[in-house]
Chain A
Amino acid sequence: MNDENADIHTLSGAYALDALEPGERAAFERHLEACEQCRDEVRSFGDALSVVVDESAQEPPERLRDSVLAGITAVRPLPPVTHDSPDDVVVALRPVRRRAVTAALAVAAAVLGVALAGTAWRTVTLQDEVSRLSAAAADVTTVLTAPDARIATATATTGGRGTMVMSPSSGQVALVTDGLAPVPAGKTYQVWFVGRGSVVPAGFVDGGTAGTVLTGHPDDAVAIGVTVEPRGGSPAPTSDPFLTIAIPAA
């Protein structure tokens, strides 16, 4: 018992460095609630590392500021929650009451608006974005409104951007794309779940702005990829993905 305790105390360094695996991280966070010494240690390590980052400081591109500030305008800050983990880096879409659909789409719109900002930010009202998206994303709403929904975005190598929304509770994953190049004639955009050593078909997505709920969701999936395939799709990818989105860890 004592050994076990002594052992978990020594994880404070690895925890502060984000070097624990998800299960251990959760276990250590439970330990932190009870152990003031580890809390103090982790706090002081975090403060020290925030100074260490000085040596890596680097000016970001100007467009990042524009897109960050444009992106927040449609997103409402969450109210304070007691005992919530400050390290919860997942952007959770909270369940919302009557206007669930609009609110969820607003978040998607914000994310996609952000994507637009990278190249040429134009002022679009939230309503515009919502109408533009609602047609494409109607099926995606269920995933978007899940209380545990998590999002991740990535830029396509051929232009445009994809936003993945996943809900662990329902096991569903949706892909919302924006500004993808039109699908070449005779071809289709096929989506894949990429696991450790396996790639399985997950559905199809259109060019431009579109949303789709993906089929299947293997437990070992670490990313989704989108490739150009002959019309009708392929049993396995025949080209390199032009869009890859890593599935955020729990």
Chain B
Amino acid sequence: MPIDPAPVPSPGPAPGEGTAGLAELLRRASRGDEAAFADLYDRTSTKVYGLARRVVRDPAQAEEVAQETYLAVWRQAARYDSAQGGPLAWILTIAHRRAVDRVRSAESARERDLRFAALGDGSDYDMVAETVTTSLEAARVRRALASLTEVQREAVLLAYYGGYTYKEVSELLDVPLGTIKTRMRDGLIRLRDALGVER
């Protein structure tokens, strides 16, 4: 009765393009397998870096966020718990939090106001929507975002890409805190359902 079977390097096709493959790579990385980690990097780096760019804007800082993210992923790979979400979500959560922390601590109030002006009125969303027509995945995301009400989308994107806390969003939009909380949660529920993410 094998208790903890070692992973057998399979000569066949890679074990799926999806999350099962990433979970296996994380498992191997947690045991110090640098080649598996390189593979993991190759399969996730456009998202980690892209998300960092989206939040911190500055390319050099986005690189630093990505760098810190992967060092954290390498160190904490053994602590990934599939019960709490997919491996990609875990990695992106680390990246997002680092990006947001950076934006919040480094930025003056004035810069934040300017950033808000640049982000406001959903123009960021429109810009994104324009630039994504090529990829099927992106089109799917675009449709899912479009299923949110405008105020839900605004609250979700200001927090996720703008790095604002819900209290800041509430102040910026002059909408009560409870309303913002609800818009964020309801928006994510719609988004999740539109994307067909398993509950």
Contacts and interface: CB of A to CB of B under 8 A. Distances in A.
- Asked if A and B bind, the verdict is yes
Contact of A89 (B85, B98, B169, B195): B98
Contacts of B74: 72, 75, 77
Interface in B142-199: 142, 144-145, 156, 159-161, 163-167, 169, 178, 180-189, 191-192, 195, 197-199
A4 B67 CA distance: 40
B53 to A, nearest CB: 6
Interface in A212-247: 222-223, 244, 246-247
Interface residues of A, number: 72
Main secondary structure of the interface of B (DSSP, over half): helix
Interface in A96-154: 110-111, 114, 118, 152-154
A47 B165 contact: no
Interface residues of B, number: 95
Q: Identify which of A7, A20, A58, A248 gathers the most chain B CB atoms within 10 Å of its CB.
A: A58
Contacts of B84: 39, 42-43, 46, 86
A54 B185 CA distance: 21
B106 A19 contact: no
A57 interface: yes
Contacts of A75: 71, 74-75
B100 A56 contact: no
B109 to A, nearest CB: 9
A246 B41 contact: no
Interface stretch (B4-12, B43-51, B115-123): B43-51
A185 interface: no
Contacts of A20: 165-166
Interface stretch (A9-17, A170-178, A199-207): A9-17
A40 B198 CA distance: 10
A33 B31 CA distance: 28
B141 A51 contact: yes
Contacts of B166: 14, 17, 19-20
B68 A153 contact: yes
Interface string B49-63: 111011000011111
Contact of A65 (B34, B45, B104): B45
10 contacts: A13-B188, A18-B97, A19-B165, A40-B199, A43-B84, A48-B144, A51-B140, A53-B92, A77-B77, A89-B94
Given A56-B51, A91-B75, 6 more contacts: A18-B100, A43-B89, A54-B137, A72-B37, A77-B77, A111-B71
